[in-house]
Amino acid sequence: MPETTTARASAASRFASLDPLIAPRSIAVIGASGDATRIGGRPIAYMRAHGFKGTILPVNPNRPEVQGVKAFPSVADLPETPDVAIVAVPANLAVQAIEDLGRKGTKGAIVFTAGFAEVDEAGEREQDRMLAAARAHGMRLLGPNCLGAFDGRTGYYATFTASLDSGLPIPGRIAIASQSGAYGTHVFTIARNRGIGASLCVMTGNEGDVTVGDVIGWMAEHPDTDVIAAYVEGVREADSFLASLAAAKAAKKPVVLMKVGRSALGTAAAKSHTASIAGDDAVTEAVLNEFGVVRARTTEEMLDIAHTATRRIYPARNTLGVLTVSGGAGVLISDVAEQVGLPMPEMPKPAQARLKELVSFSATRNPVDATAQVSNDMTLITKFFGELEREGGYSSVLAFFSQVAASSRGPLLREKLAEVVQQFPDRLHVLSVITPPEITRNFESDGWIVHEDPTRAVVAIEAMGRFGAAFEAGPGLPPPTVPAVTLPATTPTEAEAKRLLAEAGIDSAPERACPTPAEAVAAAESFGFPVVMKILSPDILHKSEIGGVLLDVADAAGVRDGFATLLDRAKRAAPAARIEGVLVAKQLKGGVECILGIHRDPVFGPIAMFGLGGIFVEILKDVVFRRCPFGEDVAEQMIRSIKGAPLLLGARGRRPADVKALARMLARLSVFAHQAGPRLASIDLNPVFAMPEGEGAFAADAVVEIG
């Protein structure tokens, strides 16, 4: 259901409780080392060298000082209560360290120590003991088995990563959240090497307490972060993850996320690496789409998108205008734009005519190929851009100048391109050039985002539109009201399942459960021929697999024969099954076959599915998913989003199907599943006939499976 004020307040409190971990004023190091290359020594060395303004409190029973800083023999001997403590002692001492810190009143601990749930069951038990100690004292715990956190803006380096040896973070407003420490610092290092400002990085490790969702939520509410880049192997706590994405969307902060575990092999690796549940990848995709999160396929793509997002221009109705000095680059850009679904409308005819007057041999439709002539006469640049942006009205503009920016003409090019940004400050301006880093920084200081590869630039530009559409979207319609759901003790028969769903307003074709052939004939005659006949048994869920469905039964004799046939097939295929008779239903004609379903995801709970029936679901897998519950507007968006939607919308002269009725059914099914609770394992409505517009939608078959 819609998020409540209480739920929002609870999430905000949970996120705020990370302040001691990520933005402390004082830090203790348990297991502090005088060797700056060791795990317990690196954080002290980094913070002393790079300007941490807070207090550093080394704890080492064998040394009076560590790296020139006064040390203390135990936590109890500390002269003050630290905001956070790094725990860098062996696993057999770590639990006691947390207990000692809790008694001292410390509100955050970062546990570097490994050897817990990621190793074996004994390690998991020790991790549970550690968490119990932390929770008993109201302490938040990052890790164990984590690489910590750092923020280059404050000189806070609660980490032992060697990536800092090769360079510090570049100041910037991108924050990195990662379950994997090694990969999180890998992303940071690539960002730094590319000149991208990513100052903050938090790595969650085993996520005994603090999850990647908590970290994303903290970043969403932190004023010094504009863009969040996240690496996720599995979602441990759905509630905090969903709340964090909602917080980021509400704050209009883009989240670009790399979720691994798409393949069976990748999923197994994720489970063993962080003891987490990777979940169904299609479900994860649906959840990310729900909150406007852009999913990156590669590290390169994640950083391209995050970097582009730092301009903070997110066009909700994104269109791309292209100015190029290369016809070939224009074709390449057009191909990628079509592939990712980024519209490139043609320039207005009068504007094209004016461009031809400027350069008679230019290509003017879009992409606009100004040719190398603009390199010879750079006064043409502002004129071409004026037509492109003023008359074309594109929300995003990509300019391809290849190596001109690094040539002797580069300074003049920069001057003219700076004028363009000043004239159209509300547009997203992206430049594809090959330049040394210092020249790239100059263009970006003028308001351009620079990508060497124009195809990568197009992918990033398209992502800005997805962010914008998500940020602009309102709350939508509330889920429909459905009566309270009471599930039966065991999986019901088809007839019972349909009666249960009917109470939620989910219509089925007229039908009757018939224990005898005579009653079956009477039911068929009341509906009118032809009819459908199905074996009725709570023990036979997939009737078609045993020949338990007969179509086009045309008369009373066919009903009698069909009754005997179905019972005989059931007895041979499932001799132990309970048989309650035969279900006789009116056979619907003229509708489009669809499938509606529910399955319970182990992470996100009930998930609704919609697709076309027949080969579309079996072979093409043209289906869409959404977390339950949702309103009729979302249901209709789902229906219209599948590739086969034209078959429902009146393609090639067909009568449009009753999409409104189909959306009502799907929304009601989502609420039913949400209210049913965890005992509901799945629902399968297949087929559902979407009748012609105004004639409704009806489930011809229903399976409700109780777990």
Domains 5-309 and 320-472 share a fold: yes
**Residue 2: pLDDT above 80?**
no
**Residue 268: pLDDT above 60?**
no
pLDDT of residue 7: 73
Quote the CA–CA distance of 201 and 340 in Å, as a whole number: 30
DSSP letter string, 459-528: HHHHHHHHHHHHHH----PPPPP-PPP---SSPPPHHHHHHHHHTTT--B--EEEESSHHHHHHHHHHH-
Task: Quick: pLDDT tens for 420-465.
Answer: 999 999 999 999 999 999 999 999 999 999 999 999 999 999 999 9
Task: Quick: pLDDT tens for 537-596.
Answer: 999 988 988 999 999 999 999 999 999 999 999 999 999 999 999 999 999 988 999 999
Q: What is the mean pLDDT of residues 288-308?
A: 97
DSSP letter string, 637-659: HHHHHSTTTHHHHTGGGPPPB-H
pLDDT of residue 613: 86
The CATH fold assigned to 320-472 is Rossmann fold (3.40.50)
pLDDT of residue 272: 36
DSSP 336: H
Quote the CA–CA distance of 340 and 396 in Å, as a whole number: 15
Strand order in 174-178's β-sheet?
A: 156-159, 148-151, 200-203, 174-178, 227-232, 255-259, 294-295
Q: In which band, very low, low, confident or very high, does the pLDDT at 273 lie, cut at 50, 70 and 90?
A: very low
Per the model's pLDDT, the better-predicted residue between 612 and 269 turns out to be 612
pLDDT of residue 270: 45
**Residue 638: pLDDT above 70?**
yes
pTM, two decimals, is 0.91
Which candidate, 146, 121, 261, 120, places its Cα nearest to that of 211? 146
Dmax (CA) for the chain in angstroms is: 99
pLDDT of residue 113: 97
Task: Quick: pLDDT tens for 350-396.
Answer: 999 999 999 999 999 999 999 999 888 999 999 999 999 999 999 99
Q: In which band, very low, low, confident or very high, does the pLDDT at 277 lie, cut at 50, 70 and 90?
A: very low
What are φ and ψ of residue 607, in 5° steps? Answer: -125, 130
**Residue 271: pLDDT above 50?**
no
pLDDT of residue 275: 33
Alpha helices in 548-631 (DSSP H): 556-573, 615-618
The CATH fold assigned to 592-706 is D-amino Acid Aminotransferase; Chain A, domain 1 (3.30.470)
Q: What is the mean pLDDT of residues 286-299?
A: 97
Q: In which band, very low, low, confident or very high, does the pLDDT at 278 lie, cut at 50, 70 and 90?
A: very low
- Type of residue numbered 198: A
**Percent of the chain whose pLDDT exceeds 70:** 96
Quote the CA–CA distance of 313 and 371 in Å, as a whole number: 28
Contacts of 252 by beta carbon, 8 Å cutoff, 6+ apart: 314, 471
**Residue 9: pLDDT above 80?**
no
Q: What is the mean pLDDT of residues 527-538?
A: 95
CATH code for the domain defined by 510-586: 3.30.1490.20
**Residue 406: pLDDT above 60?**
yes
Q: Please answer whether residues 540 and 583 qualify as being in contact, where contact means their C-beta atoms are separated by less than 8 angstroms.
A: no
What value does the mean pLDDT of the chain take?
Answer: 94
Beta strands at 26-30 and 227-232: parallel, antiparallel or unpaired: unpaired
In CATH terms, 5-309 corresponds, of 3.40.50.1580, 3.30.1640.10, 3.40.50.720, 3.40.30.10, to 3.40.50.720
**Percent of the chain whose pLDDT exceeds 90:** 89
Q: Hey, where are the domains in the chain?
A: 5-309, 320-472, 510-586, 592-706
Beta strands at 140-142 and 156-159: parallel, antiparallel or unpaired: unpaired
Q: What is the mean pLDDT of residues 486-513?
A: 94
